[in-house]
C-alpha cells in the first residue's frame, strides 16, 4: 500500500514541479510587456491574457504538490501538539466534511464550465487578439482531479495511522525550517559536548 501512496506522491510532485516552470514563461511575458510598453511605447495586446492564464494554471496545478507536502494553511499551533491518531482523526473529519465535497464539486462543475466554454469556442474579451479561454478552463477540473487523487492518498494515510499508531512515510523534497534549525541545534550541542 505504501508503494501506491508514494507513487501518488511522485505524480503530484512531478506535476507540481513541471508546472512550476510556467513561472519562467510568466516572467518572460511580463518583462517583455514592460519593455515594450515603457521603452518602445508599443504595449502588447496579449500580455494580460497570457499572464492570468499562466499564473492561474501555475496556481491551480500546484495544489496536489502542496497537499502532498503538507503545505496548505492550517492551525498548526494546536495540531502539532496532538498525538498522530488525534491528528488523523481531525484530518479525516476535515477531509470528509470539506475536502471531498469541494473537490468533487470542482470536478463536476469545472467540467461543465469547461465544456460550455469549449462548445462556444469562448475567447477572451479582454484583449483584441481574443485567445481561446477554454484550454485554461480545462485546468479547473484537471487540477481538482489531481488534488482529489492526492487527498485520497492522505485519507488512506490517516486510516493507516489509526491502525499502526503513526503516519506512514511520505516522499519529501523540502523540509520545514523548524526541522533544520533543530538538527543544527543538536549538531552544535554534540560538537560542544565532544569538545568538553
Render pLDDT for 130-159 as a digit per residue (tens, 0 to 9): 889 999 999 999 999 999 999 999 999 999
At residue 177, the pLDDT reads 67
DSSP reduced 3-state for 123? strand
Q: What is the mean pLDDT of residues 47-75?
A: 89
User: Is a pLDDT exceeding 70 seen at residue 160?
Assistant: yes
At residue 173, the pLDDT reads 61
Residue 93 belongs to domain spanning? 2-195
Classify residue 131 as exposed, middle or buried by CB count within 10 Å of its CB (0-12, 13-18, 19+): middle
At residue 174, the pLDDT reads 58
> pTM for the whole thing?
0.82
Distances (CA, A) of 37 to 34, 44, 104: 5, 7, 42
- State how far the Cα of 65 lies from the Cα of 16, in Å rounded to an integer: 5
How many domains in the chain? 1
Classify residue 46 as exposed, middle or buried by CB count within 10 Å of its CB (0-12, 13-18, 19+): middle
Q: Tell me the per-residue pLDDT of 171-192, one tens digit each, with 9 for 90 and over.
A: 766 566 667 777 888 888 889 8
Amino acid at each position: 500500500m505504501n508503494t501506491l501512496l508514494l507513487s501518488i506522491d511522485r505524480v503530484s510532485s512531478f506535476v507540481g514541479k513541471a508546472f512550476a516552470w510556467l513561472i519562467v514563461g510568466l516572467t518572460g511575458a511580463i518583462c517583455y510587456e514592460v519593455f515594450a510598453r515603457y521603452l518602445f511605447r508599443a504595449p502588447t495586446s496579449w500580455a494580460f491574457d497570457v499572464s492570468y492564464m499562466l499564473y492561474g494554471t501555475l496556481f491551480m496545478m500546484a495544489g496536489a504538490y502542496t497537499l502532498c507536502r503538507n503545505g496548505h494553511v492550517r492551525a498548526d499551533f494546536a495540531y502539532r501538539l496532538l498525538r498522530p491518531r488525534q491528528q488523523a482523526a481531525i484530518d479525516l473529519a476535515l477531509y470528509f466534511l470539506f475536502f471531498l465535497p469541494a473537490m468533487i464539486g470542482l470536478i463536476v462543475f469545472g467540467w461543465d464550465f469547461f465544456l460550455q466554454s469549449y462548445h462556444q469556442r469562448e475567447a477572451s474579451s479582454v484583449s483584441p487578439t481574443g485567445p481561446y479561454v477554454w484550454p485554461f478552463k480545462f485546468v479547473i477540473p484537471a487540477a481538482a482531479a489531481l488534488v482529489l487523487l492526492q487527498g485520497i492518498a492522505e485519507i488512506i494515510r490517516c486510516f493507516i495511522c489509526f491502525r499502526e499508531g503513526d503516519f506512514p512515510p511520505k516522499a519529501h523534497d523540502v523540509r520545514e525550517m523548524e526541522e533544520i534549525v533543530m538538527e543544527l541545534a543538536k549538531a552544535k550541542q554534540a560538537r560542544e559536548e565532544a569538545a568538553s
